Amino acid sequence: MNTLADMTVDDLRQLILDLLEEQRLTGLFGKADMDESAFVIEDEFDPRSLAEVFDSVERNRWTPPPGSPTPSEMIRQDRDER
């Protein structure tokens, strides 16, 4: 499809839904600093053993600081602000 004139009504509806979803996500998380290709997961062979992968996950795990709100508290706060 090169122009809107080439689109079907369903194509146009999907385009509008995609744009609305993009706007919603941008409002929630801000604009991504990466292009779309950064989000594409390619099937590449990972030479690491499963134990090495688990060790990497453990080393790179992030723990929120003490006193941080729990996810359910954040959801409630967001709901109450709306």
Span 33-65, pLDDT tens digits: 667 676 677 777 889 999 999 999 999 998 889
Question: What is the spatial distance between Cα 68 and Cα 74, in angstroms, rounded to a whole number?
Answer: 10
Q: Which of 44, 48, 45 is nearest to 59 (CA)?
A: 48
pTM over 0.75: no
CB 50 within 8 A of CB 58: no
Span 12-38, pLDDT tens digits: 899 999 988 888 888 777 776 667 676
Question: What is the spatial distance between Cα 65 and Cα 30, in angstroms, rounded to a whole number?
Answer: 23
Give me the residue spans of the domains in the chain.
Answer: 4-81
Question: What is the spatial distance between Cα 57 and Cα 46, in angstroms, rounded to a whole number?
Answer: 14
